Amino acid sequence: FMTERGVKWDGRLLKLGGHSEPRVLVSIGDGAGLLNALWTHMKTLKNLETGLHTKADEIILDKDGKVEGLEVRQDYYFDTPETDDLQNKTGTKKLIRAKQGVIFATGGYSRDKVFRSIEVPFLAGVATTTNPGATSGALKTMVRAGAQPMHLSLFRFAYPLPTEDMIWGVIVDPATGKRFMSEGATRNALAQTVLLRRMQNGDKKPFIIYDEKSLAKFHNLNRVQRSLNGLNGIDGTMTKFNSVEEAAKAFGADPAIVKNTVDAYNQAIKEGKDPEFNKPLERSGRKVESLDFSAGVYAMPVNPRLNYTPGGIRTDLKARALSMETGKPIEGLFVVGEASGGLHGQERMTGCSMPECAVFGLIAGETVADRPKQ
């Protein structure tokens, strides 16, 4: 479906974080390349009307609890994530009848610091690079219509560089100059350990050290290049140094201790083990090797970002929103993508967000098309 609509693939089939087999395709241009191709195709459709600056305020139900349509505001202008849903009164009210159904594909709520920190207090200060409109407003609209939310206390972190490629480097706590975890941990385990360490060390951000050879092992070299060019967002810039000591000094760590830490790590890797943290020494058919800094030292902060919220509206296999009261589908209401909850469990695996959006978007479209018109 995606290929027919202009998405191009780089030809690789990868085994990435959480997967037991190679099953991840990578689109040329990453996620932006995929979305741009679909957006370009969408603009060619003659039976589709796009309403920009339009906010869905309420879902309109009939006396039997079936969805009749939406109450929206047109000419609505977004203000700020912190206050918009409560204070923004812009726009003109309009009612839109749904002839066959309403599909919410409104994404997650990573930007809503107040909402997310009610469930998980330590998320209050975590950065995010999601768009400013990623608030809980749409979720609350669906809940007011009787839909059941689930997994709101779960979270999924991301990093400027792929989590899977942390394994090639050495993560150091600047307060101690030492390692404190396995660089091969899962994304959430890595994030929680880093955030806990920051709570204990005066909020000093750990940093990761690579050599040139380890950078070449990355499955996404485009993100490496963006980091080297200073184009990879919050704490996403990778800097080249002449020595480990120079890198340590730049991140506020004791140069001598960091040098000893890296030397001990290299010796352990040469012996084929990691006695301190039992880091796996192979990933996707590539081996972890000791670091050789003859061509320079590369380092950057390790700062988890909350870029995906697993929680959302409970749905069934036809993408129908389920009632909090009865557990049965709310007739005419469909939820797809990150706006839904419950699909991924405790930790979404790498590469599964786009397929979720695509698969359930298709299912919702097919299901709605089969419904009789009102």
Kindly state the tokens that stand for 329. 């589908």
| 23-31 LR contacts (CB < 8 Å, sep 24+) | 23/351, 24/350, 24/351, 25/351, 26/219, 26/220, 27/2, 30/220, 30/222, 30/223, 31/354
147 φ, ψ (degrees, to nearest 5)? -75, 150
Spatial contact of 227 and 302, defined as CB atoms under 8 Å apart: no
Kindly state the tokens that stand for 319. 């993408």
Domain spanning 160-303 has what CATH number?
3.90.700.10
For the chain, the first-to-last Cα distance in angstroms comes to 29
CB atoms within 10 A of CB 329: 18
Q: Which amino acid is at 91?
A: G
Beta partners for residue 172, in sequence order: 207
Beta partners for residue 329, in sequence order: 322
The three state secondary structure string of 58-82 is: EEEECCCCCEEEEEEEECCCCCCCC
Distant-in-sequence, close-in-space partners of 354: CB < 8 Å, separation ≥ 6: 31, 34
- Taking only Cα atoms into account, the Rg of the chain, rounded to an integer number of angstroms, comes to 23
Which class does domain 54-156+309-369 fall in?
Answer: alpha beta
Kindly state the tokens that stand for 236. 């996403």
Q: Which residues of 336-364 are buried (b: 16+ CB within 10 A; e: fewer)?
A: bbbbbbbbbeebbbbbbbbebbbbbbebb
The dihedral sign for the CA sequence 130, 9, 319, 348: negative
Residues of CATH 3.90.700.10 domain(s) within the chain?
A: 160-303
Spatial contact of 135 and 81, defined as CB atoms under 8 Å apart: yes
255 φ, ψ (degrees, to nearest 5)? -60, -40
Q: Which residues of 296-321 are buried (b: 16+ CB within 10 A; e: fewer)?
A: ebbbbbbbbbbbbbbbbbbbeeebbb
Beta partners for residue 25, in sequence order: 13
Q: 102-104 and 329-335 as β-strands: parallel, antiparallel, unpaired?
A: parallel
Q: Which amino acid is at 345?
A: G
pLDDT of the chain along its 374 residues, tens only?
999 999 999 999 988 877 889 999 999 998 899 999 999 999 999 999 999 999 999 999 999 999 999 999 999 999 888 788 889 999 999 999 999 999 999 999 999 999 999 988 888 778 898 989 999 999 999 999 999 999 999 998 988 998 889 999 999 999 999 999 999 998 889 999 999 999 899 999 999 999 999 999 998 888 899 999 999 988 999 999 999 999 999 999 999 999 999 999 999 999 999 999 999 999 888 999 999 999 999 999 999 999 899 999 999 999 999 999 999 999 999 999 999 999 998 888 888 999 999 999 999 999 999 999 98
The whole-angstrom separation of Cα 102 and Cα 79 is 25
Of 64, 140, 150, 59, the closest CA to residue 102 belongs to 59
Residues of CATH 3.50.50.60 domain(s) within the chain?
A: 54-156+309-369
CB atoms within 10 A of CB 221: 12
The whole-angstrom separation of Cα 169 and Cα 284 is 16
CB atoms within 10 A of CB 28: 13
Model pLDDT for residues 310-356, shown as the tens digit of each residue: 999 999 999 999 999 999 999 999 999 999 999 998 888 888 999 99
